[in-house]
Structure 1
Amino acid sequence: MHAWPASEVPALPGKGRDLQIHDTATQGTITLAPGPVARIYVCGITPYDATHIGHAATYNAFDLVQRVWLDTKRQVHYVQNVTDVDDPLLERALRDNQDWTELAERETALFREDMTALRMLPPQHYIGAVEAIPGIVPLVERLRDAGAAYELDGDTYFSVEADPHFGGVSHLDAEAMRLLSAERGGDPDRPGKKNPLDPMLWMAARPGEPSWDGGSLGRGRPGWHIECVAIALDHLGMGFDIQGGGSDLAFPHHEMGASHAQALTGEFPMAKAYVHAGMVALHGEKMSKSKGNLVFVSALRRAGVDPAAIRLALLSHHYRADWEWTDAVLDEAVARLERWRAAVSRPDGIPADALVEEVREALSNDLDAPAALAAVDRWVERQIATDGEDESAPGLVSRTVDALLGVAL
C-alpha cells in the first residue's frame, strides 16, 4: 500500500532540541534522545469514515513529533497501518450494501488526499492489515506454541497473564479494563476464556465474511492488536521511540499490543514512550463514528476552507487536551492565517532569529503548539506595528512556520 506525497521541509539555521514528551506508561514527561534515526509507529484509520477532525488532530500531533526530530538533524522512520479489514468496516459495508474492499479503498484514498492537503508528512511504510497477514500468522503460531495463546471454538486468544508487564501502559484496574474492553471491540463476557480480558489473535472464518489461509490456525482473519504488532516489529523492531495514537487507544489497543510484543520477544518495553492525543468533541460529545457527529476535512475543503487554516485550528489546542470543534475555532484560525500571511508578505521586517528558538522551545516542551502559535503572533504584531529593516526576516518566519508547524504561508 502506498502513502501520500511528502511536502518539502525547509532547513532552519542552527539545530532543534530533544523532545520532552508525556509518556502514558510512566505517567510523566520523559526526554527522548534517539540515535541518528528516530522510530515512530502511529496507529492508522479503519477506513470506513475518513477523515474527520478527530483523526486530523491525532495525526497532526505526530506530524509535529516528526518535525521536531527532523529539526534535530535526525532521520525519521515512521510506520503507520490501515486496518482495512475489521468488524466495523464489514458492518458499514453491509449496512450500505457496498463491497467492503471498495469501501476501504475509497476511504483510504480520501484519507491520503486529506493528509496531503494538510501537509502531514507521510510514513515510510504504510501497511494494510490484509497485506500484513502473511507476517501475522507466524506470530500467532509462535504465541500459541509458547503457551501464551490458546484455542476457543476455533478462535485463538492471547493470554494476558503471559506478559508480566500487562497493565503497565494504561494503569487501569481490572473492572475499568473490562468495561473498556466491552466498549472497544473486545468480548469479555464470552464463555470459556481463561481471562475475560484475553484478546483475540485469530478469528476463525465466519459465514459470509472474508477469510485467509492461516496455516495451522485454519482459515480466518487477524485480531486488531496483533496487526499493529506484526507491522511494527517487522519495520521497527522492539524498543522503538514512540507508539502513538488517540487516547482511546491506550486501552485496549496499545496495552494489548505491548503485551503481544513483549511475550513474543521476551524484551521490554515495546516502545520507549506511549503518546496519546486527546479527543475532539462536537456539540458537547466526543466526535465519533458511532455518534455520527463528525466534521470531515474533505467537506471543509470542498466548502473552500484553506487547509492551512484547518491546521492552525488543530494547532491552537495542546495535543493532549480534549477540546471542542466550533465555528469560532475555525474563524479564529482563518483570521490568524490572514494576519500571518500579511506580515510575511512585507519586503522586510523585524529580526526573527529569536522567534525560531521560541518555537523550537515550545515544541520540544511536550509539543506545546499553542505556545508556538503565541510566539508567532507576537512577532506578527510587532511586524505590523514596526518598520523593520531585516530583509531576511519574513522569509525566515515563513520557513520556520512551514518546517516546524507544517503551515505554508
Structure 2
Amino acid sequence: MTRTSDLVIVGAGIVGLAHAVEAVARGLTVTVLERDERAVGASVRNFGHGCVTAQTGDALVYAGRAREEWLRLGEEAGFGVAECGTVVVARSAEERAALEELAAERDGEVELLDPAAVVSRVPVRADGLHGGAFLRRDLRVEQRRAVGAIATWLAGQPAADVRFSTPVLGVDAGSDGCVVRTGRGDVRARHAIVCAGHDLDRLLPDVADDAGLRRCVLQMLQVRTGTPVTVGPAVLTGSSMLRYPALAGTAGAAALRERWGTERPDLLDAVVNHMLTQLPGGDLVVGDTHHYARTPDPWSSDGLDELLLAETRALLDAGDLTVVRRWRGVYADAPGEFLVRPAGPAATAVAVTSGIGMTTALGLAPAVLDTVPL
C-alpha cells in the first residue's frame, strides 16, 4: 500500500478527521490511517456536547470556529447537530454568583434564569434551586454517528483516501518528506500529522515524554429514566463550574470549591463533572469522573458509578434510573489544553489534552495547518 499524498494523518478520531477536512478544503491530497475498523475512542465515548461559551483563550476561539464547521458538516455528512444550548443549574448561592460573573463577562451569550425558568427548560428538581443560566451558543452533536459519518463523507472526496484497519508502526520524517510505516505497507507524504490521542506515546514516546502526556480515564453511564423526560439542552451542574475555565475562574466557583472541601470531598476527590445530555432514543448520557495516570489501572469502580447515579437522582425529577451501559472513556492529558509539537522536519504531533476535542478540534485544525510547510 505505497501511496503518495500531500498529507498523511494518523488517527480517524475527531482530531484527525478535523485536519483531513481542513486539508481537503485547502485543495490538498490526504491519506487518513486508522488502526481500528471504526472509531471507538474518545470521539464516540463523550457527551456530544459542544461547550463553546465556558471556554477561554485559544479554546474559545477554536470552539467558535468549530461550531460553524459542525453545523456545516452535520448538513453535508448527514448526522444530527442541534443548536440546543446548555442549561447550567445553580443549587447554591456560590453557583449562582459564578453564573452572574460569567453573564457579566459574556454579554449576550449567557441568559440568567430564575428557578421557574430552569424547571421549564429541563426536568430538574425545584427544591433548593437558586436559578441557573442558559448558554445559547452551545451545540449537541450526535456523537455516536458523527465521526463515522464524517469519515464516510471524507472518503467520498476525490482528494481523500481513508484507510481503516491499518495500524501505524512508525513515522520517519525527514527534510524531503515522510514515510509512515503501517502493517499494510508504507505511505509517503510531504508531511504527517499524528493524531493518536492518548496513545501518542506508542508512536512518538519522546514527544509524549517532553509534553508530560498522561491518560485521563473517565467513568460514564447511559441511563434510562423511569418517567420519560425530554432534555433538549445539555445540563451542567456546580461540579461543572469547577471544570470549565470560564466558570472555574470566577470568585463564585472558588468559594464553591472551598466549601466542598469540607462538605463534598467525595466530588472533589473523584474530580466529578456531573452533567448530562440526551441521546436520540431518549436515554441520558451521565458523567463523569476523572483519574489521571500514564498507565491507569484497568479496573472500574462501582463506587464512582454510584456517586454519579446518586447525583443524578438528586438533580432530576424523572423517577427511577436504570443503567443501560457503563464505559470508561480515555483521553490525552498534558499541561495546557492543546499539544502541537514537531516530530521531525516533516511531521507534527497534535492532541487536544483537556477533554474538549469535540468542542474545539474543527477549529484547531486550521490553526495547525497554517503552520505546516505544504
TM-score (norm 1): 0.26
- Comparing both chains, which one has the higher relative contact order based on Cα–Cα distances under 8 Å and sequence gaps of 6 or more? 2
Bigger Rg, which one: 1
TM-score between both structures, scaled by the size of structure 2: 0.28
Higher strand share: 2
